[in-house]
Amino acid sequence: MAHLLPKLSYTYDALEPYIDAKTMEIHHSKHHQTYTDKFNAALEKHPELFEKAPQDLLKDTSKIPEDIRQAVINHGGGYVNHNLFWEFLRPGQENNTPQGALLEAINKSFTSFENFKTIFTNEASLKFGSGWTWLCKKASEEKLVIISTSNQDSPLSQGLTPIMTIDIWEHAYYLKHQNRRPEYIENWWKVANWAKAEELLKQA
């Protein structure tokens, strides 16, 4: 069974004014659709791999047949990364901060939420080129880590479990913010879905 572009749980204009409807529409219906199609096209060459969860393929890329390995890393990565990106967004609300177990883990790892936000924002602002910035959990360790990956590389391939992520490819912000990536990041915090991040932390 071919992998499908996920339906969003909100409309393209639901994240306005923080993320504009046009960017959302193109990002989801064009960019994410293309990753989905190219991921499926790669798997067509080894159809038995459709049975595997995309995340599991990315966890051990050495097991992917060599002729499609880079295509799966690129387009399978793009497919999975965007799935999480959409889930970690929700319409903006006042006082949007993490709660409960997630807040506790953030405080333990980064002293405070404000400090975490500063480190994460710097990382995402300064990351060179196209990629993603992530909050991840290391297996068997309580502490959370902030990392960036290039292109569509997934933290799953480094043995890390993603808790939240921001897409810092220009296609995620260029229409509205042009070259002003920090402005995009500042707006993105307003539509962060902390409940989803807490759920992922509990499963990690």
List of residues contacting Mn ion (CB under 5 A): 167, 169
Nearest to Mn ion of 3, 102 (CB atom): 3
Nearest to Mn ion of 113, 189 (CB atom): 189
Residue at shortest CB range from Mn ion = 167
| Residue whose token pair is 């002293």 | 111
Give the shortest CB-102-to-Mn ion separation in angstroms: 24
The residues facing 145 across adjacent strands are: 136
Rounded Cα distance between 78 and 64, Å, is: 16
Give the shortest CB-86-to-Mn ion separation in angstroms: 10
The widest CA-to-CA distance across the chain, in whole angstroms, is 49
Give the shortest CB-27-to-Mn ion separation in angstroms: 6
C-alpha dist (Å) from residue 28 to 24, 75, 82, 182, 189: 6, 14, 8, 22, 19
Give the shortest CB-13-to-Mn ion separation in angstroms: 18
Rounded Cα distance between 83 and 112, Å, is: 28
Nearest to Mn ion of 58, 106 (CB atom): 58
CB neighbours of residue 182 within 10 Å: 13
Number of helical H runs and strand E runs in the chain: 10, 3
Nearest to Mn ion of 123, 167 (CB atom): 167
Nearest to Mn ion of 153, 167 (CB atom): 167
Give the shortest CB-130-to-Mn ion separation in angstroms: 9
